[in-house]
Amino acid sequence: MTATPEVDARDSSTIRNPATGAVAGQVRWTDPADVTRIAAGLRAAQTDWEARGAKGRAKVLARYAVWLGEHRAEIEDLLIKETGKSAVDAAQEVPLILMITSYYVRTMEKALAPDSRPAALPFLSIKKITVHYRPRPVVGIIAPWNYPVANALMDAIGALAAGCAVLLKPSERTPLTAELLLRGWQDSGAPEVLALAQGAREVSEAVIDNSDFIQFTGSSATGAKVMERAARRLTPVSLELGGKDPMIVLEDADVELAAHAAVWGAMFNAGQTCVSVERVYVLESVYDQFVDAVVRDVKNLKMGAGEGNDFGALIDDGQVSVTERHVEDAIAKGAKALTGGERRNGPGSFYEPTVLVDVDHSMACMTEETFGPTLPIMKVKSVEEAVRLANDSPYGLSAAVFSKDVDRAKAVALQLDCGGVNVNDVISNLMCTTAPMGGWKTSGIGARFGGPEGLRKYCRVETVVAPRTNVGAGGNYYNNSPKALKRMNTMMTKLALIRPRRMAK
Catalytic sites, residue numbers? 240, 274
| Backbone φ and ψ of 2, nearest 5° | -135, 150
Query: What distance in Å separates the CA atoms of residue 317 and residue 307, rounded to the nearest whole number?
Result: 22
Residue 351: beta bridge partners? 343
Query: What distance in Å separates the CA atoms of residue 355 and residue 193, rounded to the nearest whole number?
Result: 46
Q: Classify 362 as helix, strand or coil.
A: coil
Query: From start to end of 193-256, where are the E strands?
Result: 194-196, 213-217, 237-240, 246-249
Overall size of the chain counted in residues? 505
| Nearest alpha-carbon partner for 256 in 118, 402, 441, 361 | 402
User: 17 and 75 in contact (C-beta within 8 Å)?
Assistant: no
Query: What distance in Å separates the CA atoms of residue 42 and residue 57, rounded to the nearest whole number?
Result: 16
DSSP string of 297-343, one letter each residue:
HHHT--B-SBTT-SB---SSHHHHHHHHHHHHHHHHTT-EESS--SB
Query: What distance in Å separates the CA atoms of residue 322 and residue 372, rounded to the nearest whole number?
Result: 8
Query: From start to end of 110-176, where are the E strands?
Result: 115-117, 127-135, 138-142, 165-169
CA angle 311, 313, 315 (to 5 degrees): 130
Burial 307-340 (b: 16+ CB within 10 A, else e): eebbbbbbbbeebbbbbbebbbebbeeebebbbb
Q: What is the dihedral of CA 28, 31, 35, 37, to 10 degrees?
A: -100
User: 112 and 162 in contact (C-beta within 8 Å)?
Assistant: yes
